[in-house]
Amino acid sequence: MLDSNYFHYTGTDLSCDDVRLEELAGIYGTPLFVTSARSLIESYQTFEDAFKALSHFTCYSVKANYNLSVIRTLAELGCGCDVNSGGELYRALQAGVSPEKIIFAGVGKNAEEISYALESGVLMLKAESLSELRAIDRIAGELGKTASVAIRINPNVTAETHPYITTGDSKEKFGIDEAELPVVFSLLSRLPNIRLVGLDMHIGSQIFDPEYFVAATVKLLALFEASKELGFSIEFLDIGGGFPVTYDPLKPATPIEHFAEKLIPMLQPFGVKVIFEPGRYLVANASILLTRILYKKSNHTGKQFFVVDAGMTELIRPALYQSHHEIQAVTFHDETVMADVVGPVCESSDFFARQREISAAEEGELLAVMSAGAYAAVMGSNYNGRLRPAEVLVNGSQVKLVRKRETLEQLIQNELSC
Ligand code: LLP
């Protein structure tokens, strides 16, 4: 069982803070994302405490969970935002984040997005290619603005994680190759509408070993020194996100303090402001996906299936990355059974667990798919004509509906009859 102060049994009932999940399902239906505001706050404070000795600025990577209320909860604590598209920038601004606390990333920003970011007055755009630098310079010139830019480098450090979420390797599309940096510096001195304010990296996600951060930071610092010699005065070093969380109690995440112990002494002497972009760390364990068991069935091999009303359309991580999510019965049962927990979507990859020892819950009962705060709702889809679920935010005994369940009408609202 995943230990959490925020999702816990009160007697035999699983609750979020002071609210029973059964009650929430009764009011809002299922599938339902339930987020604990207190968990968000605690994760942010733990992160900030770990790095308090370092002059830094934390920008929540909103791609992990861009619900406005999640962004707002973190922003109210002083957190900035890392956005990856015009859509995410719009969300961050709508959530009330001030533009000078927003940094804009993305390997393929289009002209519209670059203009939007410049006109909004974001703290910086992170450029990932020579061509993009030229585009930013041109657009800034047209708008009569000077663009504050950070260069994202590809440090060629292959962090051990799922291959789909490693980004700091030369095989991948991200960042500018180290070898190209001299050309970048020389180009920058000829681009009148760009001011170089930072160097940036992001080596991947769910990285357990701090040594990968250390290896990449060594490279970032060497480039920082090189840039100083060339006369650039860089204000920010952006270390990216990628800090791990526990999905499986048998594989506990490295505590954030271990990353801080390694990184603070390396970065502090340089007297530059450090930016962190945690996504998953702040939100993954703040939410669960509440789902109801529709049917139970077994086959001639003795295999059992729990067919639930949520699926890969709400949480695609098991299908895409074979990732583990704990599953807890909302009403506690002593007995367990070995079963697959599967969704209603027409894909064999539509499962939450395979051959897992699951609480012996009955048809009609509720299950909680744990750690569903990061890369869950945001990666959702309407595949199979499914409606995006409702989302609620719990704080103590208070419950707020923060996203309404989609309707059938909304499914077709943008289509035109011809
Ligand atoms: N900064 C940049 C530039 C990123 O690309 C990402 C994540 C982050 C920060 C935040 O990384 P985090 O702290 O959350 O690890 N869908 C995958 C994860 C994809 C991560 C993409 N980039 C998953 O479900 O595991």
Tell me, using a 6 A CB cutoff, whether residue 166 lines ligand 1: no
pLDDT at residue 171, as a whole number: 76
Tell me, using a 6 A CB cutoff, whether residue 380 lines ligand 1: no
What angle is formed at CA 86 by the lines to CA 82 and CA 88, rounded to 5 degrees? 45
**CA 282 / ligand 1 centre spacing (Å):** 12
CA dist., res. 242 & res. 279, Å (int): 7
Tell me, using a 6 A CB cutoff, whether residue 150 lines ligand 1: no
Is 346 catalytic? The answer is yes
pLDDT at residue 246, as a whole number: 97
Tell me, using a 6 A CB cutoff, whether residue 318 lines ligand 1: no
Rounded to 10 degrees, the C-alpha dihedral 151/260/221/176 comes to: -30
Tell me, using a 6 A CB cutoff, whether residue 245 lines ligand 1: no
Give me the mean pLDDT over the 234-257 stretch.
97
What angle is formed at CA 132 by the lines to CA 167 and CA 381, rounded to 5 degrees? 55
User: What tens digit of pLDDT does each residue of 310-368 get?
Assistant: 999 999 999 999 999 999 999 999 999 999 999 999 999 999 999 999 999 999 999 99
pLDDT at residue 166, as a whole number: 72
Domains (range + CATH), the chain? 7-36+284-411 (2.40.37.10), 105-278 (3.20.20.10)
CA dist., res. 277 & res. 127, Å (int): 16
Give me the mean pLDDT over the 50-54 stretch.
98
pLDDT at residue 3, as a whole number: 57
Give me the mean pLDDT over the 212-223 stretch.
96
Give me the mean pLDDT over the 238-252 stretch.
97
pLDDT at residue 375, as a whole number: 98
| Cα–chain center distance at 35 | 14
User: What tens digit of pLDDT does each residue of 121-155 get?
Assistant: 999 999 999 999 999 999 999 999 999 999 999 98
Tell me, using a 6 A CB cutoff, whether residue 106 lines ligand 1: no
The minimum-distance atom of ligand 1 relative to the CA of 278 is: 13
Catalytic one of 16, 59, 81, 346 = 346
* Least confident segment among 182-186, 190-194, 274-278: 182-186
Tell me, using a 6 A CB cutoff, whether residue 165 lines ligand 1: yes
Q: Quote the pTM value.
A: 0.97
Buried/exposed code over 43-82 (b: 16+ C-beta within 10 A; e: otherwise) = bbeebbebbeebebbbbbbbbbbbbbbbbbbbbeeebbbb
pLDDT at residue 168, as a whole number: 72
Cα–Cα separations (whole angstroms), residue 403 to 102, 279, 283, 298, 312:
23, 20, 17, 36, 19
The strand pairing partners of 48, in sequence order, are none
- Hey, whose CA ends up nearest to atom 9 of ligand 1? 241
Give me the mean pLDDT over the 183-192 stretch.
94
Ligand 1: residue of 60, 61, 103, 315 to mutate (most ligand atoms within 8 A of CB) is 61
Q: Place 56 in a pLDDT band, splitting at 50, 70 and 90.
A: very high
User: What tens digit of pLDDT does each residue of 220-232 get?
Assistant: 999 999 999 999 9
Ligand 1: residue of 172, 280, 312 to mutate (most ligand atoms within 8 A of CB) is 280
SS (H, E, C) the chain: CCCCCCEEEECCEEEECCEEHHHHHHHHCCCEEEEEHHHHHHHHHHHHHHCCCCCEEEEEEHHHCCCHHHHHHHHCCCCEEEECCHHHHHHHHHCCCCHHHEEECCCCCCHHHHHHHHHHCCCEEEECCHHHHHHHHHHHHHHCCCEEEEEEEECCCCCCCCHHHECCCCCCCCCEEHHHHHHHHHHHCCCCCEEEEEEECCCECCCCCHHHHHHHHHHHHHHHHHHHHCCCCCCEEEEECCCCCCCCCCCCCCCHHHHHHHHHHHHHHHCCEEEECCCHHHHHHHEEEEEEEEEEEECCCCCEEEEECCCCCCCCHHHHHCCCCCEEECECCCCEEEEEEECCCCCCCCEEEEEEEEECCCCCCEEEECCCCCCCHHHCCCHHHCCCCEEEEEECCEEEEEECCCCHHHHHCCCCCC
Tell me, using a 6 A CB cutoff, whether residue 64 lines ligand 1: yes
pLDDT over 80 (residue 180): yes
**CA 242 / ligand 1 centre spacing (Å):** 6
The strand pairing partners of 297, in sequence order, are 305
pLDDT over 80 (residue 13): yes
pLDDT at residue 172, as a whole number: 80
**CA 64 / ligand 1 centre spacing (Å):** 7
Ligand 1: residue of 57, 201, 205 to mutate (most ligand atoms within 8 A of CB) is 205
pLDDT over 70 (residue 1): no
User: What tens digit of pLDDT does each residue of 266-303 get?
Assistant: 999 999 999 999 999 999 999 999 999 999 999 999 99
- Hey, whose CA ends up nearest to atom 24 of ligand 1? 375
Give me the mean pLDDT over the 158-172 stretch.
76
Q: How many CA atoms lie within 13 A of 276 on its CB side?
A: 27
* In contact, 375 and 317? CB cutoff 8 Å: yes
pLDDT over 90 (residue 395): yes
Q: How many CA atoms lie within 13 A of 188 on its CB side?
A: 25
